């Protein structure tokens, strides 16, 4: 603990070295934790990690990031998936976010990929290239990442939204169908009525309840 604080407050250490140190500290700490629900929130140095991450995002450009820095940033975001403070900070630097999202497409940790897919919607208005990135995330190998990306496509009213919603429906997975129904509703698809009828007669309890909610909201 004392060594970490000494390095963090050492003016001779650059911001990249400080991020290395605090990420390594988290990694070492994690080895002795049970990786159960919300385990990351128990880390004792989140304040320091948040501060170092924010400083790096604010004061550096992605063109100067090494592979180690990129991996450290992605790892940190993944570990913050409950509070999402770090991904929200990244939204304040859209060009860096776009770069890191591209780098994160095939990053091994699901908890960074779903955040990137979801939070790209926050910078969509001025950066239309986010649509193609979200579309790529919608083909992810993980069901939850695909679902969050699909919902993101619906949120931005993407040209891909209906196509992806129908693909999700055809998986016959309950939560994929719930997301598909929500997207068809969000984009005001002409096919919504048909799929609402199917949903109301489904064997999936939560799909039926979501269909009823949408019907009520439609009036």
- Does residue 191 form part of some domain? no
21 close to 9: Cβ distance less than 8 angstroms: no
Cα 78 from Cα 85, distance rounded (Å): 11
For residue range 94-131, what is the model confidence (pLDDT) as tens digits? 999 999 999 999 999 999 999 999 999 999 998 999 99
- Is residue 205 a part of any domain in this protein? no
Q: What is the 3-state secondary structure (H, E, C) of the chain?
A: CHHHHHHHCCCCCCHHHHHHHHHHHHHHHHCCCCCCCCHHHHCCCHHHHHHHHHHHHHHCCHHHCCHHHHHHHHHHHHHCCCCCHHHHHHCCCHHHHHHHHHHHCCCCCHHHHHHHHHHHHHHCCCCCCHHHHHHHHCCCCCHHHHHHHHHHHHHCCCCCHHHHHHHHHCCCCHHHHHHHHHHHHHCCCCCHHHHHHHHHCCCCHHHHHHHHHHHHHHC
For residue 2, what pLDDT is reported?
Answer: 62
Residue 9: domain span: 2-130
28-77 residue pLDDT tens = 999 999 999 899 999 999 999 999 999 999 999 999 999 999 999 999 99
157-184: average pLDDT: 98
Residue 5 has pLDDT above 80, yes or no: no
Residue 174 domain-assigned (yes or no): no
| Residue 7 pLDDT > 90 | no
Whole-angstrom distance, CA of residue 138 vs CA of residue 59: 32
At 1 the pLDDT is: 59
pLDDT computed for residue 219 by the predictor = 85
- Say if residue 3's pLDDT is above 90: no
Is there a contact between 195 and 169 (Cβ–Cβ < 8 Å)?
A: yes
217 belongs to a structural domain: no
In a domain? residue 81: yes
Q: Please indicate, yes or no, if residue 43 is contained in any of the structural domains.
A: yes
Q: Does any domain span residue 89?
A: yes
Q: What is the pLDDT of residue 11?
A: 64
Which pTM does this prediction carry? 0.93
- Label residue 6 by pLDDT band (50, 70, 90): confident
Percent of the chain whose pLDDT exceeds 90: 91
Task: Indicate whether 197 belongs to any domain.
Answer: no
What total number of domains does the chain contain? Answer: 1
Residue 13 confidence (pLDDT): 81
Contacts of 11 (CB under 8 A, 6+ apart): none
Interatomic CA distance for residues 95 and 75, integer angstroms: 19
């Amino acid at each position: 603990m004392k060594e970490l604080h000494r390095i963090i407050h050492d003016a001779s250490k650059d911001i990249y070295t400080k991020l290395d140190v605090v990420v390594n500290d988290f990694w070492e700490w994690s080895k002795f934790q049970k990786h159960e629900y919300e385990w990351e929130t128990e880390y004792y140095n989140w304040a320091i990690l948040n501060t170092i991450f924010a400083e790096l995002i604010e004061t550096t450009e992605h063109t100067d990031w090494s592979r180690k820095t990129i991996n450290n940033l992605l790892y940190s975001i993944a570990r913050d998936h409950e509070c999402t403070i770090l991904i929200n900070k990244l939204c304040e630097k859209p060009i860096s976010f776009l770069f890191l999202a591209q780098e994160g497409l095939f990053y091994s940790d699901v908890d960074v990929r779903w955040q990137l897919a979801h939070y790209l919607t926050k910078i969509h208005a001025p950066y239309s290239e986010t649509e193609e990135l979200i579309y790529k995330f919608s083909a992810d190998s993980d069901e939850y990442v695909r679902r969050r990306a699909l919902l993101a496509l619906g949120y931005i009213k993407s040209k891909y939204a209906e196509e992806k919603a129908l693909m999700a429906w055809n998986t016959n997975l309950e939560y994929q169908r719930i997301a598909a129904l929500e997207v068809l509703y969000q984009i005001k698809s002409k096919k919504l009525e048909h799929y609402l009828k199917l949903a109301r007669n489904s064997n999936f309890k939560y799909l039926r309840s979501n269909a009823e909610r949408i019907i009520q909201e439609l009036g």
